[in-house]
Chain A
Amino acid sequence: MNNLFQALMDIVGEDHISNRQEELFIYSWDLGTTEPHKPDFVVSPRTTKEIQKIMELANREKIPVVPLGGGLSLAGLAVPFKGGILVDLKRMDTIIEVNEQARYALLECGVSQGQLTSYLERNHPHLTHSEPGAPPTATIAGNAAIHGQGDLSQPYGFNSDMINGLEIVLPTGEVCCFGSCSIGAGWFTQHPLPDVGLFLGWTGTTGIITKISLRLFPCKKIRGTALFVVDDEDQVPEIYYKITHTQMCEDIVAFSQTIPPYAGGLHHFTVNLAADSEKELELKQEIIFDDALGKIIQQGYGGYLGFTPGLQHPQISKTSDWRKGGGFEYVGGIMPVSQYPECYRRGKEISERHNIPYTVLGRCIGAAHAMMFSWTYAFNRSDPETIHHAREAMRETDELALELGGTIWKPGIYGQKLVMDRMDPNTLELMKKIKQLLDPNGIMNPGNWEVKS
Chain B
Amino acid sequence: MYTLKFDEQKCLRCPTHACLTKCRYMDMDKDSAGEEILRIARGEDSFVLHDCVTCYACEEYCPMNNHPFYLIVQRQEELNVPPLPRPLIRRGINMGVPFRGDPVIEELNGKALLMGAFSDHMFLIQGRLFEGLPVISSDPRKMFHYFCQLMYLHYSRISVINERLPKIINTISMHNVTEIICFHDECYGAYTSYCPAMGIDVPFKPIHLFEFLYNRLLELKDQIRDVNLRVAYQRPCSARLSPDKHHFVEDIFRLIGAEPVPRKYSGEDALCCGGAIEGQRREGSRKRALDIQRRNISDMADAGAEVCVFNCPACYHTMEHSVAQKGIKPVYMSDLCRLAIGERPARWR
A binds B: yes
Give me the interface of A with B, judged by CB distance under 8 Å: 229-231, 259-266, 278, 282, 285-286, 289-290, 294, 296-306, 309
Give B242 Cβ to nearest chain A Cβ, in Å. Answer: 27
Complex contacts, A261 vs chain B, CB 8 Å: 94-95, 97, 99
Q: How many Å lie between the Cα of A420 and that of B252 in the bound state? A: 74
Give B85 Cβ to nearest chain A Cβ, in Å. Answer: 4
Q: How many Å lie between the Cα of A227 and that of B275 in the bound state? A: 13
Per DSSP, chain A at the interface is mixed
Which partner residue on chain B sits nearest A290 by CB separation? B286
User: Is B82 an interface position by the 8 A CB rule?
Assistant: yes
Q: How many Å lie between the Cα of A389 and that of B85 in the bound state? A: 38
User: Is B307 an interface position by the 8 A CB rule?
Assistant: no
B279 touches which of A231, A265, A304 (Cβ 8 Å): A304
A-B pair number, CB within 8 angstroms:
70
Per DSSP, chain B at the interface is helix
Q: How many Å lie between the Cα of A296 and that of B87 in the bound state? A: 11
Q: How many Å lie between the Cα of A229 and that of B281 in the bound state? A: 13
B85 touches which of A278, A301, A306 (Cβ 8 Å): A301
Give A22 Cβ to nearest chain B Cβ, in Å. Answer: 36
In the complex the two chains form, is B90's CB within 8 Å of A285's CB? no
Known: A286-B287, A298-B283, A302-B87. 11 other contacts (CB 8 A): A261-B97, A262-B94, A296-B85, A297-B285, A300-B86, A301-B86, A303-B85, A303-B91, A303-B279, A304-B286, A305-B88
User: Is B161 an interface position by the 8 A CB rule?
Assistant: no
Q: How many Å lie between the Cα of A297 and that of B84 in the bound state? A: 9
In the complex the two chains form, is A264's CB within 8 Å of B94's CB? yes
Q: How many Å lie between the Cα of A301 and that of B287 in the bound state? A: 19
Give the contacts of B93-109 with A (CB-CB under 8 A). 94-95, 97, 99
Which partner residue on chain A sits nearest B83 by CB separation? A300
Complex contacts, A278 vs chain B, CB 8 Å: 325
14 A-B pairs with CB atoms under 8 Å apart are A229-B87, A229-B91, A262-B94, A262-B95, A265-B90, A282-B290, A286-B287, A290-B284, A300-B82, A300-B281, A302-B87, A303-B86, A304-B286, A306-B318
Q: A261-B97, A297-B85, A300-B82 are in contact. Are A309 and B321 (CB under 8 A)?
A: yes
In the complex the two chains form, is A294's CB within 8 Å of B87's CB? no
Give me the interface of B with A, judged by CB distance under 8 Å: 82, 84-88, 90-92, 94-95, 97, 99, 275, 278-279, 281-287, 290, 318, 321, 325
In the complex the two chains form, is B282's CB within 8 Å of A298's CB? yes
Complex contacts, A306 vs chain B, CB 8 Å: 275, 278-279, 318
User: Which of A297, A305, A306 lies at the interface centre, i.e. has the most chain B CB atoms within 10 A of its CB?
Assistant: A297
Which partner residue on chain A sits nearest B289 by CB separation? A306
Which partner residue on chain B sits nearest A226 by CB separation? B286
Complex contacts, B283 vs chain A, CB 8 Å: 294, 298
In the complex the two chains form, is B86's CB within 8 Å of A231's CB? yes
Give A56 Cβ to nearest chain B Cβ, in Å. Answer: 56
Q: How many Å lie between the Cα of A260 and that of B282 in the bound state? A: 29
In the complex the two chains form, is A303's CB within 8 Å of B287's CB? no
Complex contacts, A286 vs chain B, CB 8 Å: 287
Give A373 Cβ to nearest chain B Cβ, in Å. Answer: 20
Give B303 Cβ to nearest chain A Cβ, in Å. Answer: 22
Give B275 Cβ to nearest chain A Cβ, in Å. Answer: 7
Complex contacts, B90 vs chain A, CB 8 Å: 231, 265-266
Q: How many Å lie between the Cα of A285 and that of B287 in the bound state? A: 10
Complex contacts, A231 vs chain B, CB 8 Å: 86-87, 90
